[in-house]
Amino acid sequence: MAQPIRIGFIGLNPDSHWAATAHIPALSTLIDKFQVIGVANSSAESAQRTAKALNLPYAFSDVDELVNSPEIDLVVVTVKVPHHLKLVTAAINAGKHVYCEWPLANGVAEAKTLANLANSKGVVAVCGTQARMAPEIIHLTKLISEGYVGKVLSTSLIGSGGNWAGETINEYYYLFDAQNGANMQTIPLAHTLAAIKDVLGEFGSLSARFLSNFDTVTVTDTNEIKPKTVPDQLMIHGCLKSGAAIAVHYRGGVNRGTNFLWEINGTEGDIQVSAGLGHAQMVQLTIKGARGDETTLKTILPAPSLYQGKPEAAAARNVAGVYNALYHDIVNGTQTAPSFNDAVALHQLIDNIERSAKCCAE
């Protein structure tokens, strides 16, 4: 058996944020394949605290020391989007494989730069669109391909973003600033669209309209009112390349009703996917369906084997799926994990949607 792939994290706190709550639990189920070796944070002191808390061998003084260390095989980048270009570039130029959180970059141009660099250096470069690796999405893809609903006629989805309404806390205010590239269209919408594409195929022509009910946001823990420059209502409609109709509506915040509902309607049956939040990448998805003479939806569970040995929490479980595919890509030279090239295509899709919405507003 190959030796575990040695990971260096850029942006890992011991008890909070995405790396600690999703990546570390995911990796705890893959100890035969990966070993977390060290960390580099915003300061050497922060790295030392994390290394001590998680019992890591190395607390690197800065990013350059981490990416150039011979002890590191894979660099995992889990910091805010505006920093991705610089940090991922450093890792690739050092010849390291990379797992970067989605969004890969702040816009299409930066994403293309990173993908081209990774391709030229021959490293395995993966972007964390982990909804694609959810057991429920894999199961749903199989159901559609096997003809559960027959020919797909239409699909519709509504989702709540959680953020992007009228209130936030200071830690998350950066999500409300359009310059940072981390908003409702680039996070929950994009993660979900990536999964929809796997299930139903390529998108065709799409039109969009964005609205804002809030021009400012109240930062509750600092009692400030700050500008909000991203939309809180995203409406998209059009068709898939298959000819099926598609309609998507994402809205900011959460509501007392349905926060995620995705329906697929076909000539032979119907499928309904639901969850408690519009982030398909990090919530438990429930699948129900009916076909033929059936008149009532019934739960259609994935095979128990799809969950075996994986984390109980959906977010960690989906991230583990990315790591598992990444491992096989590094060891076997395959391309099964969500790649930087995939990320460029997703960035381009979101850019096209934003351009359509801008034209509609003018």
35-66 pLDDT per residue, tens: 999 999 999 999 999 999 999 999 999 999 99
The amino acid sitting at 210 is F
Cis ω before 103 (30° cut-off from 0): yes
The amino acid sitting at 269 is G
Q: Which SS3 state, helix, strand or coil, does residue 298 take? A: strand
Of 160, 124, 176, the C-alpha closest to 323 is 124
C-alpha to C-alpha distance for 216 and 214, rounded to whole angstroms: 5
Look at residue 16 in the predicted model and tell me its pLDDT: 77
SS3 content of the chain, % helix, strand, coil (to 5): 40, 25, 35
Q: Is the domain defined by 5-130+315-338 classed in CATH 3.40.50.720?
A: yes
Any idea where the domains of the chain sit in the sequence? 5-130+315-338, 132-308+348-361
Global pTM? 0.96
Q: Is the domain defined by 132-308+348-361 classed in CATH 2.40.30.10?
A: no
Would you state the structure tokens that stand for residue 255, as one six-digit string?
A: 């509501």
Look at residue 353 in the predicted model and tell me its pLDDT: 98
Look at residue 359 in the predicted model and tell me its pLDDT: 87
Query: For the segment 90-143, what is each residue's pLDDT rounded down to a tens digit?
Result: 999 999 999 999 999 999 999 999 999 999 999 999 999 999 999 999 999 999
In the predicted model, residues of the chain with pLDDT beneath 70 are 1
Look at residue 237 in the predicted model and tell me its pLDDT: 98
Q: Which SS3 state, helix, strand or coil, does residue 160 take? A: strand
Q: Which SS3 state, helix, strand or coil, does residue 276 take? A: coil
